[in-house]
Structure 1
Amino acid sequence: MARLSPTTDEDGRAGPVSVVGVVGGVVGGMIGGGSGVLFVPALDRFTALSRARVHGSTTISNIGVCVAGAAAYAVGGGALDLRTGAGLIVGGTVGGWIGPKLLARASETLLRVLLVAVLVVTAAKLVVDALGLPLLAGALVPPWLVTQPWFLYPTATLVGLVIGAWAGAMGLGGGLLAVPAMVLLFGTDLHVAAGTSLLMFIPNSIVGTVVHLRQGTASARWGTLLAVTSAPGTVAGAALGLALDARVLGLVFGTFATAMAVLETAGLVRRRREEMRNTSR
């Protein structure tokens, strides 16, 4: 695979990116990841990075979010589901190697559409559950089946592989998928899912970072800046997440995902209009 040029698009505004790093850290710590839905638009706006390198750079930033967040949940008394998390970590780590390779082949429009789709589905699920409506309420897998090792570990590993590949490619930290997946499939409490998600994506982020840097789909400069500035915000966000009621946390998560979906959709529409105008000239 041809190495992408890493030196032609490093210009940008460090101040706004640092502020977004802190805010994104708060969001990631509170909801168990997903800081990338702030980091991606920020790097897209305040730097000259290509869309592929934007996603790759946020993978680097997720190291700071996940390490600080998992430590904060552990120290703050938040429970971690290590039974489900073990399979998710294994699958997620392998996915972290696969995802960046897929990103290098994806179009910018496809990346934007996939992000919007995940945001919409995530928001719908969490808002419906938080409001106590019967649609999709509770886990899809019977509790007795979740307790069976022969089912839990292979299933969790497969789910981790898919989510890990997504996170490794998109640089979103995986919380937007991992948290709802744990709640929906395995019946995990939302607070527990948030802490476990952060733990799960530590090795995923490290592996993804190595692959992205080797193939030139990440900026070490911008990714490191976000990783450093997001760490303190993540600790604050984790403390806030542990203090909130699960239904309130679900509404916060769902509302946040909805807002990001609207912003990304608007950006996609503007981009398509610009392309059409340029084509008609």
Structure 2
Amino acid sequence: VVGDEIVSNPGTDAIGFTGSAATGKLISQRAAGKPQLMELGGNGPVVILEDADLERAATATASGSFVNAGQVCSSSERILVHRKVYDEFAERMAAKAREVVLGDPRKAGTTMGPLNNPAVAKKVAEHVGDALDRGARAIAGGKRPDKALSPLFFEPTVLTGVTREALINTEETFGPVAPLLVIDSDEQAFEMARDNRYGLVSSVFTQDIDRAFRYVEEMPTGIVNINDTSNYWELHIPFGGVSGKDSGMGRVGGKHALTAMCDLKTATFTVR
């Protein structure tokens, strides 16, 4: 009730919101006619091509999947790996996952803490379970740890053999899970990237600069990071999703956030 009044009240000049796509849509409807800056959900993808530096790619992608327990809108939640390097990359990702230390985030040595709330933990478990039911295999993690500080902890997980129909591919999971899907060509990567309702951040690993520029042009996301984690961002860089997707509107970052929250005023003078 309070939120409805804030966004719809004539005294509110503009709305800026960071959060889920579902909540963002409701706010956008109630704030019709006002400037809006919406930074909503994301679901990659990360693309690992056959010429990638696999150690660099695994290190960056694992960081994107597991930092903050995967609870970042730009996390590496959907990873498309070329068939020629799929097995080796999967092994490297599993090794990175096993290096993660679950525990109390206040204690030295802990590298990953819990999920935010029971609803998020339930969703992560459901998405992983759905993927496994559809034939995926957990080569690292895959469940809540046997001895955890609370039910909100979930093991850093790497899934192979993930199908396109799996919820973990089609939806935003928001947890420490790295699902690996197979691709055989650039065209297939582009098609799979478009076949998703999110369009926030993607990253591509390749040593071919011409190929990299093609991905920059073709990927349906507001940001394309080449040879770095999907979580890479600087405060002065425009950050936001593309139109037609559920990742929001407008751009956060530097002058772009300021102009989004301002009215552009034009004045003309006739001088005698």
| Pair in the same fold by TM > 0.5 | no
Say which structure, 1 or 2, has more relative contact order (CA 8 Å, 6+ apart): 1
TM-score by length of 1: 0.32
TM-score by length of 2: 0.33
- In terms of fraction of residues, the more strand-rich structure is 2
